[in-house]
A and B are shown apart, each in its own frame.
Chain A
Amino acid sequence: MDKFDLQILEELTKDAQTPFSRIAEKIGVSPKKVQARYNKMKEERIILRSSITIDLSKLGYQGRAFLSVTNVPNRNRKETIDALKQMPNIFLLTEIIGDFDVLAIVAIKNLEGIISLVNAVRKLPSVDQAEFLFLTSNIPFPIDRGFERLFQTKKRKNLTPNQYLSRSNTF
């Protein structure tokens, strides 16, 4: 990756729908070159995918939870991941290193949704322990807007703690 790739990535992290012509103008190359770099980064799996971001609270969701589970020893972790992938409204999963083995992020519509999810997770034969942490911020999908700040070290320092917490504190 060179500085052009990084600049393109920065612009797309801010807004994945930015026209290539605008990025081209900003970084001083041709739109064709931006397109070529974008395609190359996709091919090389530097860019994994893109998505719009949705405020799920506007669609009637009431919150989101981080579900951490430990796997039963001697059972394949993939088994847990595949089972969790099928559960309603689990939209992001990751293998983790730490106290738990798998972390899943789930959007919650209502209390019944939580209850059925908890019951379903407990029944999974490959799951040992399961723990929920409910987040009180609103429900950005698929991920919080904040990654663009990875590229902007100076601006980030100006954010106050309350801005971090209340950017979305409406739950």
Chain B
Amino acid sequence: MNDTVEIDEIDAIILREYTKDARTKLKKIAEVCSLSSAAVCKRVKRLKAAGVITGAVVFSDMRRSGFLYPASIGIDSRPGREAQIINSIKDKVNLVFASQGIGKDNLLLFVVAHSIQEIDFLKQIIRKQPGIRRITVSHWNTPYFNFENIDL
């Protein structure tokens, strides 16, 4: 377990503002916090150095760049097969992330495919691996960002 980092309300405001828009101007955040830009900048640097802020991303409509089928794939397999499953597919699809799971599935993958056929192809490859009990594919249809809901 990682060491936790103590943050105060001003840090929380900074995090919330950058969660709404990563490109928010420092000056605007300084206004919201009633601090100088330099003071905000110092806090941002501290949050980055402490590993709280790990980077910044844009969310694009992936369908527009040809990635039509974002999907999560839950896999129930015999224990210890995770690495082998990832190995079998990682060169064949755009695997964004993989995590071990506790619950019905012990491995969860998130992939972004160009076509339904690609997902089906992937499913067939996974099914051929030894120790697979069940594969559940969920195609992500319409995402809703609800980032403001997190308690920072």
Contacts and interface: CB of A to CB of B under 8 A. Distances in A.
Contacts of A53: 53-57
Given A88-B151, A134-B103, A165-B100, A157 B23 contact: no
A29 B55 CA distance: 25
For chain A, what secondary structure do more than half of its interface residues adopt (helix, strand, loop), or is it mixed?
A: mixed
Contact of B86 (A16, A57, A96, A164): A164
A48 B138 contact: no
A133 to B, nearest CB: 4
A90 B43 CA distance: 27
B52 A66 contact: no
Contacts of A93: 143-144, 146
Contacts of B112: 147, 150
B52 A136 contact: no
A4 interface: no
B121 interface: no
Given A9-B58, A53-B57, A170-B1, A89 B151 contact: yes
9 contacts: A16-B56, A16-B58, A48-B145, A50-B59, A59-B7, A91-B150, A98-B139, A161-B98, A164-B97
